[in-house]
Structure 1
């Protein structure tokens, strides 16, 4: 009869096989007729005697024909914004936060615009814009497109 190993106690080596007939059969280490140890999930062939599985052999698993599986093609995120344009905007007029509006980050763009009204605000928004410029130039195109997705 054929079946599948459902469980094996690693301490004792005893286990349970689910037969094709729907019954469960116990086996002991001496019933395992193969070098190596039984493992959960393997297909086996055995002789059934009452509720015991005797002469338990693992079924040979012949590798089937291998098919060439094409790699999963995932469309890269598309973007209608350019990281170089955003970096130039951040460098030239970055204290006004215009580059933030360009990228769809209107909340932080408004904050930068309001900060640029005062001298203290310019001291804050100028390094912020410089850091933004460097970040845009350091990002890969994929990361930029994922972080700033296409406008709808």
Structure 2
């Protein structure tokens, strides 16, 4: 159960997992991990999810247990190789920082690049950024520079 979105997963007796949203919970209160529930399955979606008593039902109703949702992978709409190429080619003026949504440091690099001393600072800064992007794992890159939309 994701406490932020209210979405969760239900593990069925058939071994499949079914997603449900807060509007699918048919009981007052909030669902909890580990309780027995019953629901109507529609594809991979659980509808009308409601808690069941702990005792087995005489009618042989199927019981399901809420399972925690799998961890969500960070979503990124940017490419670390594009960021590294921008840092290499136009890094002294901070273009790669703008590309990654780091507008503040992009403006700082742009302003600093006006002077020769500033170029001596932003040049190595951009080179180090390029190396960092290239050695960073895809997951770490996505987590550090998440989608902004």
Normalising by the smaller structure, the TM-score range is 0.5 to 0.7
1:56 alignment counterpart = none
What is aligned with 1:79?
76
Alpha-carbon distance in 1 for matches of 2:125, 2:85: 14
Shift of 1:120: 0.5
2:111 and 2:133 mapped to 1: Cα distance?
A: 23
Relative contact order, higher structure (CA 8 A, sep 6+) = 2
CA RMSD of aligned residues (A): 1.5
2:138 maps to 1:141: yes
- Whole-angstrom CA distance in 1 between matches of 2:110 and 2:92: 7
Q: How does 1:2-151 map to 2 (within 5 A)?
A: 73-151=70-148
TM-score of the superposed pair, with normalisation by structure 1 = 0.52
| Distance in 2 (alpha carbons) for counterparts of 1:126 and 1:134 | 13
After the TM superposition, which parts of structure 1 deviate over 2 Å for at least 4 consecutive aligned residues? Answer: 70-73
Q: How many residues align?
A: 83
The answer for unaligned runs of 5 or more in structure 1 is 1-69
